[in-house]
Amino acid sequence: MMNNKKILLSGNEAIARGAIQAGCGFYAGYPITPQNELIGYMSNHLRDSGGVFIQAESELAAINMVYGAAASGARAMTSSSSPGISLMQEGISYIAGSALPAVIVNIMRGGPGLGNIAPAQSDYFQATRGGGHGDYRLIVLAPDSVQEAYDLTREAFYLSDKYRVPAMILGDGVLGQMMEPVELSVKNAKMGDKSGWCLSGCQGRQPHVVKSFFLREGELEKFNLKLQKVYRRIEEKEARCEEMFLAGAEIILVAYGTMARIAKSVIMRLRNEGKKIGLIRPVSLWPFPREAFRAAGRNTEYLVLEMSYGQMLEDVRLAVAGRRKIEFLGRSGGGILSEGEIIDKIRSLIRKPGGRK
């Protein structure tokens, strides 16, 4: 069928194409591995759709250009990898504080510091807790396939516009680099009406000001309460996750992104042996899909798997609230958990006498 035409893309290219399909009108970025295909694609193709591409002098400049483009009412995006995203935190805080929509892509690599260029998931705290200064949140979406990277990028623009909250696509070096067939969409992501606040010159209306500075007594608190109301609404409406084999599961694996793909292979192998293993894969990391953790049976325990030393683990603990046992397995800094390592851990949990109450 003509509509189902698939093409082979890397995760980085899929995000770039998803953004352009979503009507991204502005991209600024600074080269950093492992997301260079993304900036490369944007430099070659964004102009064709009438957009503006700028290779910025730094990540600081890139995120602030995104601020300016978003203030102009455009769909604006930047992408980087861990150290570059750290540099952008000031700008992201200002974008959140000015209630501007924007999409930030982080194709994570090993840290802290310059770390290395191996895939990692160790920026989870930075992404889901805000990252910069102040009480703010990002909508954080974590694809586990190239197709989903394409689809969620479009979704990120839509959600960011809808709530005027910056959104982040959180992937890792594996997702960015690997190639998979992608079904391109002809769907548009509905654009929010920005005419009531964007900067376009005050001809025929009162001047607009885009700002995050609220010096008069009580003003900032009022603004923060407004933000909090938006965040609560997002938590109610926008949490999403993939669930597999939860009914009757004795062990539920919890993993996102690349780690979830490995977890899925493990599940298929162990279910063939008759083991009752399920999976919760958070797709939105903020809002965290807490509801998915309510349905577990009395004897279920969770095994959280991450390419970090236990960051999403804290959200699982908050969601489970002490009602079930939680185990953790993680590697980061170059290593990725293998199926074998995970299976060994699961077998040890199953064998453990009185391990599950």
Partner 1 sequence: MHKVFSVPDPLRKTPTHYCPGCGHGIAHRLVAEVIQDLGIRGKTIAVAPVGCAVVAYDYWKFDCSEAPHGRALAVATAIKRMQPEKIVFTYQGDGDLAAIGTNETIHAANRGENLSVVFINNAIYGMTGGQLAPTTLLGQKTSTSAAGRDKKLHGYPLKISEMLALLPGVCYLERVSLHNPGEVLKAKSAIRRAFQNQLEGLGFSLVEVLSPCPTYWGLSPREALDWIRDVMQKEFPLGRIK
* Binding residues for partner 1 (CB under 8 A): 25-26, 28, 52, 54, 56-58, 60-62, 64-69, 71-74, 76, 90-91, 94, 98, 199-204, 207-213, 215
Cis before 112? omega within 30:
yes
Nearer to partner 1, 95 or 279 (CB): 95
* Burial of 51: CB neighbours in 10 Å, binned 0-12, 13-18, 19+: buried
Q: What is the DSSP letter of 150?
A: H
- Give me the least distance between CB of 92 and partner 1, in Å please: 10
- Give me the least distance between CB of 82 and partner 1, in Å please: 21
- Give me the least distance between CB of 62 and partner 1, in Å please: 8
Q: Are 43 and 55 in contact (CB under 8 A)?
A: yes
Nearer to partner 1, 191 or 246 (CB): 191
Nearer to partner 1, 52 or 349 (CB): 52
Enter the tokens of residue 278. 């399920």
3-class DSSP assignment, residue 113: coil
Nearer to partner 1, 21 or 93 (CB): 93
- Give me the least distance between CB of 133 and partner 1, in Å please: 11
Q: For residues 230 and 268, give the distance between their C-alpha atoms in angstroms, rounded to a whole number.
A: 39
- Give me the least distance between CB of 208 and partner 1, in Å please: 5
Nearer to partner 1, 55 or 116 (CB): 55
Nearer to partner 1, 97 or 176 (CB): 97
Q: What is the DSSP letter of 117?
A: S
Q: Are 53 and 46 in contact (CB under 8 A)?
A: yes
Report how far apart, in Å, the C-alpha atoms of 68 and of each of 25, 45, 90, 197, 276 are: 12, 21, 14, 13, 52
3-class DSSP assignment, residue 304: strand
Nearer to partner 1, 36 or 89 (CB): 89
Q: How far is CA 291 from the centre of its chain?
A: 19
* CA-closest candidate to residue 70, choices 31, 104, 39, 45: 104
- Give me the least distance between CB of 32 and partner 1, in Å please: 17
